[in-house]
Amino acid sequence: MNRNDAAGSLLAGLARVCRPAARTTAAVAATLSLLLSGCMPGPKYQRPTAPAATAPAYKESSANFQDADGWKVARPEDAMLKGKWWEIYQQPELNALEEQLNINNQTIKEYFENLMAARALIRETKAQYWPTVTVGPSWSRAKSSGNLGKSSTANAGSTSSTWAMPLDVSWTPDFFGKIRSQVREEQYAAQVSAADLENEKLVEEASLAEYYFELRGQDALQKVLDDTVVADQKALDLTRHLYETGIDDYSTVVTAEATLKAAQSSQLNLGVARAQYEHAIAMLIGKPATDFAMPVKGLLAAPPPIPIGLPSQLLQRRPDIAAAERTLAEANATIGIGYGAFFPDVTLSAEGGFEASQFQHWFDWPSRFWSIGPSLSETLFNGGEYRAALQQYTAIYNGDVATYRQTVLTAFQQVEDYLAATRILSQQVIRQQEAVDAEQKYLDLELSRYQNGLDPYIDVTTAQTTLLSDQQTLATLQVDESVASIELIQALGGGWDVSQLPTPNQLSAKPAKTDYVREK
């Protein structure tokens, strides 16, 4: 018998041997499935109540501060932010950086792979729905002892060979919902991973935008100090001229020089913070800081109106709230697994194949063998382990309820915090700009009075120091206002809403092969 004939005989023979066992197994499984298909242990999940805002608008929104100057929220009829929320700032450079972040950021990639692992776990768990089929071809040769008989005369014993081709089928049907509870647990866990991914994206996107405006704020401060150094240098030249002509004494020269050196020192110090922000941006977009640089642009502008929507919409817009709620569903499914432990396991198994002492008779019809039979396993006593486990799962669920509600409360707090911060900072920027304008007029007046011999130079120095301090404060407040608006957008959930969360069926689907290519 050649190999092709042996293989053909094997397949045909196994089909004949296993056909009765398969019919019997299928009949038993169908009967039990009909009887117990409605059995699903554990409580049915219902979203728990959460602290909800009943007010028609946020307390700190400009709707309650109609007489306030500065930043305003968008009109109520304006659409909420969607997708690429950073485009609202109309900064092409920022837009380009954000696009690179969503492709190259390594932390986002890490969270994406966590999601892919969670999806694979769903398919691993669903594999338990199906039978396990194994085949184990074997060959053995044995020799028996020649001194096992009653005769006192020794013999040579016997030698035999055994050719075996067993096929085993084992199946534990999900009669009591244990596997279904496990599948649901993994599906909800994958939804948690999907929400965590979206939340991490939002965190990284907001961080990049904040670093961008912080860096531009350093550029604006650099311009302030550059202009200050130029002005202080002119003042020093003036005092030297007056000293050389005998109009003023040398102490004014020393004072002017000290003022200039202090401004130059502050001018140099700004490079430290700017370099750090530049390096942080490089890290976020997945580039080595050594190969990344941003040109100097002192661009600071008031943030645009931000559509904030209604307080009742907040629970649908934040991915961290979605993650906390899906964690509850996962914990509820775990309780179902705990209840399922009290039910027995029913296993249906069948074995069939061929066995012969000679190869040429391996696949002959008389060489067939088979067996079939169900088995039931039930724990009668384990010292209360299952009940204690169920109590543990219930306590974890209750703790997750508290976490979910705390997440909601924190979300409302953050929105109100950053609404207040953005509104108040915008008013402060207006007043600070007025202070800078007034101080510039005062410095011009003092320089004129000093040149005419009416005031001492110390008054000029005081005016210079005050003006520089006010200008630095103004630039810092403008940055703070932009950062507060970004934090407000983050608190609102960016451009995300819960409709974008993948469903359990979508997460259970088999992904593309390219999604599981090993990184090199």
Domain boundaries of the chain, sorted by first residue: 53-104+176-343+386-512
87 secondary structure, DSSP code:
G
Reply yes or no on whether the pLDDT at 90 is more than 50. yes
Structure tokens at 402: 């508290």
Structure tokens at 25: 């197994």
Tell me the C-alpha distance between 347 and 168, whole Å.
13
Which carries the bigger pLDDT value, residue 30 or residue 347? 347
Reply yes or no on whether the pLDDT at 23 is more than 80. no
Reply yes or no on whether the pLDDT at 33 is more than 80. no
Of the pLDDT bands very low, low, confident and very high (cuts 50, 70, 90), residue 66 is low
Structure tokens at 179: 């596997």
Reply yes or no on whether the pLDDT at 2 is more than 80. no
Which carries the bigger pLDDT value, residue 264 or residue 42? 264
Q: How many helices (H) and strands (E) does the chain have?
A: 9, 5
Tell me the C-alpha distance between 362 and 354, whole Å.
6
**CATH number for the domain formed by residue range(s) 53-104+176-343+386-512:** 1.20.1600.10
Burial zone of 138 (CB within 10 Å; 0-12 exposed, 13-18 middle, 19+ buried): exposed
Q: What is the pLDDT of residue 21?
A: 42
Burial zone of 442 (CB within 10 Å; 0-12 exposed, 13-18 middle, 19+ buried): middle
352 secondary structure, DSSP code:
E
Tell me the C-alpha distance between 241 and 246, whole Å.
9
Reply yes or no on whether the pLDDT at 190 is more than 70. yes
CB 292 within 8 A of CB 281: yes
Place of tokens 């705390």: 406
Nearest alpha-carbon partner for 209 in 283, 118, 281, 103? 281
For 170, phi and psi rounded to 5 degrees? -135, 135
Q: What is the pLDDT of residue 32?
A: 47
Tell me the C-alpha distance between 334 and 178, whole Å.
10
The residue-averaged pLDDT of 400-409 equals 96
Q: What is the pLDDT of residue 100?
A: 94
Put simply, whether the predicted model's pTM sits higher than 0.85 gets the answer no
